[in-house]
Amino acid sequence: MNLSQRLRSTPVIVRFCLRLIILVVFAAFAGIGFGKSFAALLWMSVILSAVVGAIKREPPFGSDLNYWDETIAYAALFALVSNFNHAVPV
């Protein structure tokens, strides 16, 4: 991975981490419980990232990170969180 590719991918990683922190904070104060609200916020993030990636016409399998990679990361986290929501009865 060359330096210019890393420099283009760094803002995507920072953006993903900041959004994830914001989602966790909002989910912590939700009235329906952390797991359900975090899953709902992650699903909304999946949709938002996919729409923004389509609007910006970013290539889905580019060499640097973009909104499509963010969409996949949110979808993976959504699958993980929703799996734990069903496994643990409240």
H helix intervals, 1-90 = 3-28, 34-55, 67-87
Q: What is the pTM of this model?
A: 0.85
Sorted by sequence, the CB contacts under 8 Å of residue 88 that are 6+ apart come out as 35
Quick: pLDDT tens for 26-80: 999 988 888 889 999 999 999 999 999 999 999 888 888 999 999 999 999 999 9
Mean pLDDT to the nearest integer, 1-27: 84
